[in-house]
Amino acid sequence: MSSENKILTTDGLPLEVSLKKAEKRNKIKAFLLVAPLLLFLLITYIFPIGEMFTRSIDDRMITNMLPKTFESMKKWDGKELPPEEVYRSFYEDYKILAEKKVHGKLGQRLNKEKNGFNSILKRLFRKVKSNQIDESKSIKEQIIKIHKHYRNVDYWRAIKRTAPPYTMNKYLKGMDMYLDEDGNVTQVSEDRRIHRILWLRTLEIALFVTIFCFLMGYPIAHLLATLPMKYSNLLMICVLLPFWTSLLVRTASWMILLQQQGLVNDFFVMIGLVADDSRPEMMYNKVGTYVAMTQILLPFMVLPLYSVMKTISPSLMRAGKSLGGTPFVAFWKVYFPLTIPGIGAGCLLVFILAIGYYITPALVGGASGTLISNQIAFHMKQTLDWSFASAMGLMLLTGVLVIYWIYNKLVGVDNIKLG
Amino acid sequence: MSKNPEFVKFDKVDKSYDGKVLVVKDLQLDIAEGEFITMLGPSGSGKTTCLMMLAGFETPTHGEILLDGNIISNIPPHKRGIGMVFQNYALFPHMTVYENLAFPLRVRKVEKDEIDKKVDKALSMVSLSGFETRMPAQLSGGQQQRVAVARALVFDPAVVLMDEPLGALDKNLRESMQYEIKHIHESIGVTVVYVTHDQSEALTMSNRIAVFNDGKVQQLSDPAELYEKPVNSFVAEFIGENNTFNGEVIDIDKDKCKVKLNNSEILANPISVKSKGEKTTVSLRPERALINPANKMDNMFTGKIEEVIYHGDHTRVRLNLLGSSEFILKVPNSTSNLELKVTEDIDIGWNSIDARALDPK
């Protein structure tokens, strides 16, 4: 609309202005209503993710430990052994650390960068502690004498590499890669690539759990949507019952069922399917993870499907049949396309939940059935490498966002229906 | 080609859903080829069940349904070749109008050119040419309804079933659609079985009407006979308006009987009464009672006007007559209109042949 012929209200104000005025109160009211949620999200979601991110790339610990060293290293080109100045400032930094008794952390950190660093630092520490280093003479010569590695330029380059306050090392490690001494991204040797296996296994298990949930959930949802009320309510309770039971209890019940002396194996032996002395292992491997996760995540598939199927009029299938379609054609051409929004929602929900699943694989997964989330938990609780855990957590989050993006490109998020 | 008078035949069909109540009782109904037959009745009277049995979505508990002489009770719906228009149209929401119409042809493996031709023809029949690429949600209720009709006809079925297809439309649209469906039926000569609870719809469109109540066909006849000569008080009550008097037969001969009401006597036409002493309900159409009749009529009474309601084309007058204050008169709106005032007394007369003595209510 052109600006010349604006519509005016009776009091002479432009209609748009008037409308904005009238709606302002409602907008403020609406904002205040969602404000607590926004605040909650900010505190419990946005802020922790930001914190995780900084933690995962944070490398300031060493920067703060060796301020003088890094300052003097700026002029060093890293081709030959650093000049006396660098050795002196390193010695001065280390002395302060030794006095504060935090030199051990430096050793650990540098050892990650270059193997053997910790032991040569311990030698230095003994010299520093017993005041055997004469500050009036050349520090470089005295340090070089402590161990031959101090004459090796690689070790000094390793220190220089840690100078930037931020590092991508944790992310590379998460993908079984590292920066080599020349700063190139390199793969770790084949026998040490544990993370990549875990990522692939996580994707594989999430994918198959989604497929199993879909195959089992679709008929259930269809029954739920078409059965008369009194039966469908009962079935709904059956679907939801696991929802109301603790996750741990459900996982534990699967352990009872699946273990080698468990009910399922007993049954197999009883009907003669397997011999008593060769009971198959159904737990502490992928099978256990598949079975338990499928059961636990099934409601997340059934409910979105059900809510979509509920809206499909039964007369559509009848129309399909009366127009000459066989029951299969009527289902495939009429019913199924209409359930795609529910399939999308259910699969996305199950896949995203499965990809970050923790307790169930931890309990029934064993060595071959654990997922990346178990590795994250391991680093949070056992190695206390929180920055690595954060980095992997963020990689998982990025993966989920990528999947969401792909889904949006393929199906369109507007087509999701959760009910 | 001679028309088969028993093209569709319900032969002693019973239907029960729960094994306790019969929804359809011993239904015997023949539908001629090319006929437009309407199943009319209140909700729960079994009419839709009959339609569903014919379409194949319900199976008869007892008896057989025959189509063109063949028993179809064991044929699944998709092999019956019966077109159906559903109450809520049941257009496939994810397909365009063209795809909706092409569906029955595609499943029959009709060739692409042939499909185009047939869809074109069907759409022009319901005057929706040019709407091929629209989605059903982009159409108005009336247009959706027409697409549904076109889809049910596009594969040239022998019989088309319509289950209250106009129920969701507004009054004006419903009336114009009634004519449109009637004309389509006349032009292509397909057999139509139409279900409705709207009596005026049934009267306008059908060749014959089957009035259903309580799982039984109460009367099967053409619209005029149904209205003029209802055979029982349910039909009289259900089709059109009627004034009723409950009483007892005190005298009867071949074409007249005397019915004693509370404190008066009227003459009536004995339809379902046979002898003296029987209880009866006398039914009289409001338009058959005249005010100040010029000719002599054999029932003449005086009543008091209780209420006058102006309806545009006619005026409805409620009278207190023969002890009942529910007697309705329809006075056409003509230039020689009477001055009708509430509380005034007027003379009313009707012929005994129009007062039908039916079964007691």
Looking at the structure of chain A, the number of domains it has is: 3
Domain membership of residue A309 (yes or no) is yes
Distance of CA B288 to the CA centre of its chain: 22
Host H or E run for residue A330: none
Task: Kindly report the pTM of this predicted structure.
Answer: 0.77
Q: Kindly report the number of other CB atoms within 10 A of residue B101's CB atom.
A: 29
User: CB under 8 Å to B324, separation ≥6 — which residues?
Assistant: B245
Q: Which homologous superfamily is B241-358 in?
A: Nucleic acid-binding proteins (2.40.50.140)
Amino acid B226: pLDDT? 86
Q: Helices B97-106 and B141-153 meet at what angle, rounded to 10? A: 20
Amino acid A2: pLDDT? 46
Domain membership of residue A188 (yes or no) is no
Chain B contacts of A333, Cβ < 8 Å?
Answer: 92, 103
Amino acid A208: pLDDT? 94
Q: Which amino acid makes up residue B140?
A: S
- As a whole number of angstroms, the distance between CA A188 and CA A372 comes to 18
Amino acid A67: pLDDT? 85
Does residue A314 belong to the interface with chain B, where contact is any CB pair within 8 Å? no
A residues 315-334 closer than 8 Å to B (CB) = 315-316, 318-327, 329-330, 333-334
Per the structure block, which two tokens stand in for A256?
């009872």
Residue corresponding to tokens 């008929």: A219
Residue corresponding to tokens 């010569």: A141
Residues A386 and A273 in one domain: yes
Domain membership of residue A392 (yes or no) is yes
Domain that holds residue A21: 16-58
Q: Kindly report the number of other CB atoms within 10 A of residue B77's CB atom.
A: 24
pLDDT tens-digit series, residues B78-102: 888 888 998 888 899 999 999 999 9
Residues A343 and A406 in one domain: yes
Does residue A336 belong to the interface with chain B, where contact is any CB pair within 8 Å? no
On whether the CB atoms of residues A294 and A216 are closer than 8 A, the answer is yes
B13 pLDDT above the threshold of 60: yes
Residues A266 and A130 in one domain: no
Amino acid B336: pLDDT? 61
Q: Helices A117-129 and A153-161 meet at what angle, rounded to 10? A: 90
DSSP letter string, A203-252: HHHHHHHHHHHHHHHHHHHHHHHHS-HHHHHHHHHHHHHHHHS-HHHHHH
* Neighbour order of strands in the sheet with B159-163: B82-85, B159-163, B191-196, B36-40, B208-213, B216-221
Residues A304 and A348 in one domain: yes
If we measure between CA atoms, which residue out of A324, A45, A64 comes closest to residue B104? A324
pLDDT band at B286 (very low <50, low <70, confident <90, very high): confident
- How close B30 comes to chain A (CA, Å)? 22
On whether the CB atoms of residues A181 and A162 are closer than 8 A, the answer is no
Tell me, what's the ipTM?
0.78
Specify the CATH number for the domain of residue A273. 1.10.3720.10
Amino acid A413: pLDDT? 64
If we measure between CA atoms, which residue out of B246, B205, B247 comes closest to residue B226? B205
Judged by CB atoms closer than 8 Å, whether chains meet at A315 and B103 is answered as no
Picking from A315, A323, A326, A331 by the largest number of B CB atoms within 10 A of its own CB, the best residue to mutate is A323
Domain membership of residue A186 (yes or no) is no
- As a whole number of angstroms, the distance between CA A129 and CA A97 comes to 11
Domain membership of residue A232 (yes or no) is yes
Domain membership of residue A320 (yes or no) is yes
- As a whole number of angstroms, the distance between CA B89 and CA B67 comes to 24
Calculate the average pLDDT of chain B.
Answer: 85
On whether the CB atoms of residues B226 and B285 are closer than 8 A, the answer is no
> In 3-state terms, what secondary structure has residue B349?
strand
Judged by CB atoms closer than 8 Å, whether chains meet at A323 and B107 is answered as yes
Residues A374 and A238 in one domain: yes
- CB hemisphere CA count around B215 (13 angstroms): 13
Chain B contacts of A318, Cβ < 8 Å?
Answer: 55, 57, 77, 84, 86, 90
Distance of CA A146 to the CA centre of its chain: 45
Distances (CA, A) of A342 to A227, A294, A337, B207: 19, 18, 10, 46
Amino acid B1: pLDDT? 46
Domain membership of residue A44 (yes or no) is yes
Judged by CB atoms closer than 8 Å, whether chains meet at B103 and A323 is answered as yes
Residues A54 and A148 in one domain: no
pLDDT tens-digit series, residues B108-120: 888 999 999 999 9
> In 3-state terms, what secondary structure has residue B187?
helix
Report chain B residues touching chain A, CB-CB < 8 A. 55-57, 76-84, 86-88, 90-94, 103-104, 107-108, 151-152, 155, 161
User: Low-confidence residues of chain A, pLDDT below 70?
Assistant: 1-6, 181-182, 412-419
Chain A contacts of B57, Cβ < 8 Å?
Answer: 318, 321-322
Chain B contacts of A321, Cβ < 8 Å?
Answer: 56-57, 76-78
Amino acid B92: pLDDT? 92
Count chain A–chain B contacts defined by CB atoms under 8 A: 69
Per the structure block, which two tokens stand in for A230?
């009194």
DSSP state of A166: B
Residues A27 and A107 in one domain: no
Chain B contacts of A330, Cβ < 8 Å?
Answer: 78
Distances (CA, A) of B107 to A228, A328, B311: 30, 11, 52
The residue-averaged pLDDT of B46-62 equals 88
The residue-averaged pLDDT of B214-230 equals 86
Residues A94 and A148 in one domain: yes
The residue-averaged pLDDT of B257-286 equals 82
Chain B contacts of A335, Cβ < 8 Å?
Answer: none
CA-nearest residue to A321 within chain B is B78
If we measure between CA atoms, which residue out of B96, B112, B207, B97 comes closest to residue B150? B97
Q: Helices A194-226 and A372-381 meet at what angle, rounded to 10? A: 120
Chain A contacts of B91, Cβ < 8 Å?
Answer: 319
Judged by CB atoms closer than 8 Å, whether chains meet at A318 and B155 is answered as no
Chain B contacts of A313, Cβ < 8 Å?
Answer: 88, 90
Residues A115 and A261 in one domain: no
Q: Which amino acid makes up residue B190?
A: V
Among the partner residues A315, A316, A321, nearest to B77 by beta-carbon distance = A321
> In 3-state terms, what secondary structure has residue B356?
strand
Judged by CB atoms closer than 8 Å, whether chains meet at B94 and A329 is answered as no
Residues A285 and A344 in one domain: yes
Among the partner residues B78, B87, B91, nearest to A321 by beta-carbon distance = B78
Residues A200 and A260 in one domain: yes
Chain A contacts of B79, Cβ < 8 Å?
Answer: 324
Residues A43 and A78 in one domain: no
Amino acid A137: pLDDT? 82
Among the partner residues B86, B87, B108, nearest to A324 by beta-carbon distance = B108
Handedness of CA A402, A404, A410, A414 (dihedral sign): negative
- As a whole number of angstroms, the distance between CA B216 and CA B22 comes to 10
Q: Which tops the pLDDT comparison, A272 or B3?
A: A272
Chain A contacts of B76, Cβ < 8 Å?
Answer: 321, 327
CATH classification (class only), B8-233? alpha beta
Amino acid B229: pLDDT? 85
Distance of CA B301 to the CA centre of its chain: 34
- As a whole number of angstroms, the distance between CA A16 and CA A30 comes to 20
- Every domain of chain B and the residues it spans: 8-233, 241-358
Q: Kindly report the number of other CB atoms within 10 A of residue B92's CB atom.
A: 21
CA-nearest residue to B82 within chain A is A322
